[in-house]
Chains A and B, each alone.
Chain A
Amino acid sequence: GNSVTQMEGPVTLSEEAFLTINCTYTATGYPSLFWYVQYPGEGLQLLLKATKADDKGSNKGFEATYRKETTSFHLEKGSVQVSDSAVYFCALRNPLSGYALNFGKGTSLLVTP
């Protein structure tokens, strides 16, 4: 079946530090991969996506590259801000299994001034 594994949090960083949140997946075929962000008290928002191998998704300074050889989609940002504090979810959508999203457990990020 489809599954997503993320590094467990919480992750605490100082402002302007480099961020990496690891994500690996298991799926047959060619899934699309996503990162969603959830700010406190809000629903999930799409942060970035990649639909095929070697695609790089990017948004708001965040990047992730779809690596089929390592089945990974790690999230990175060169310089985090306090406003990036949130929970980040890696997810996949496998057309072979329908259009629902399979989510990782989420990684909580806290950025301190």
Chain B
Amino acid sequence: DAGVIQSPRHEVTEMGQEVTLRCKPISGHNSLFWYRQTMMRGLELLIYFNNNVPIDDSGMPEDRFSAKMPNASFSTLKIQPSEPRDSAVYFCASSSRGGQTEQFFGPGTRLTVL
């Protein structure tokens, strides 16, 4: 069974450009989480969805960040416009039972904004 799939694995872009990160959760999981990992701040939750509905977006840094989950098998995290301080590894994770069970992580997207 495939795990959590993220694309792209690596993204290099220039400041001001729009960036879209994609995630496909494990089939049957109804909770999806986006985390960001940086050296300075470690792993931080950005947003999580339950049954495709955003439940907690308090970790989204600012209006430049937006996330959607149009259906149970796909989510996007968009940054527009991107800035160098957005450079980080972005992880998507999914779990079942509304988030009560183990979270399975994808391999991450390493974003570099020049």
Contact = CB atoms under 8 A, between A and B. Distances in A.
Nearest to A95: B100
B55 A98 contact: yes
A100 B33 contact: yes
A61 interface: no
Contacts of A41: 107
A110 to B, nearest CB: 17
A49 B106 CA distance: 19
Contacts of B102: 46, 49
Interface string B40-71: 00111100101000011000000000000000
Interface in A80-113: 89, 98-106
Interface of B is mostly: strand
B103 interface: yes
Given A99-B98, A100-B33, A100-B48, A89 B43 contact: yes
Contacts of A44: 43, 91, 93, 105
Contacts of A43: 4, 91, 93, 105-108
A103 B4 contact: no
B45 A99 contact: no
Contact of B107 (A42, A49, A98): A42
B105 A99 contact: no
B interface residue count range (under 10 / 10 to 19 / 20 to 34 / 35 or more): 20 to 34
B82 interface: no
Contacts of A99: 31, 48, 50, 95, 98-100
A20 interface: no
B10 to A, nearest CB: 11
Nearest to B45: A100
B15 to A, nearest CB: 26
B50 to A, nearest CB: 8
Nearest to B50: A99
Contact of B99 (A42, A98, A104): A98
* Central interface residue in B43, B44, B48, B91, by most chain A CB within 10 Å: B43
Given A43-B4, A104-B42, 8 more contacts: A44-B91, A44-B105, A46-B103, A89-B43, A99-B48, A100-B45, A100-B48, A103-B44
